[in-house]
Amino acid sequence: MDFIEGLLKVAGNEAIYVVVDRLSKAAHFLDLKHPYTALDVAQLFMVGIFKLHRMPKSIVPDKDPIFLPLAEWWYKTSYHSSIHMTPYEVVYGRKPPPLLPYLPFDSQLDMVDRSLQAREATIRSLKFHMGHAQNRMKVQADKHMTK
């Protein structure tokens, strides 16, 4: 998915939300009004994409600033040894809110259950990859340390 912006205003709309199917390369072009939020885009997705095709197995978003990636949230709420707290605590003066784990089938709505299970899988993957990256950085830093 991507956004095309800076267009002439037509019927109050000046941006286009583009969703492309990776397999067929079929594209949907949905018009947006500025300023739009992540909620606006999610609602447009439900009306213009989900209604026609159901939920995709994966979504590759662009780097639009209206989305707060999970990795960024994780970074802001993770303990940093250099400042002896999380960046969230520095900015807001309190501990970050917990991201409560979801137990499968806690919800009575199948769609909510699938969505939260996908979130849990994303968090597990993120933890794995961040741990792997931290380990690589430690190995590189240790190479340059004198004993």
- In this predicted model, what pLDDT tens digit does every residue of 42-67 receive, in sequence order? 888 888 888 777 777 766 666 555 55
Residues with Cβ < 8 Å from 90, sequence gap 6 or more?
A: 83
Mean pLDDT computed over 113-119: 81
pTM listed for this prediction: 0.42
Q: Which of 44-80 are b and which e, b meaning 16 or more Cβ less than 10 Å from the residue's Cβ? A: bbeebbeeeeeeeeeeeeeeeeeeeeeeeeeebbeee
Q: What is the pLDDT of residue 68?
A: 46
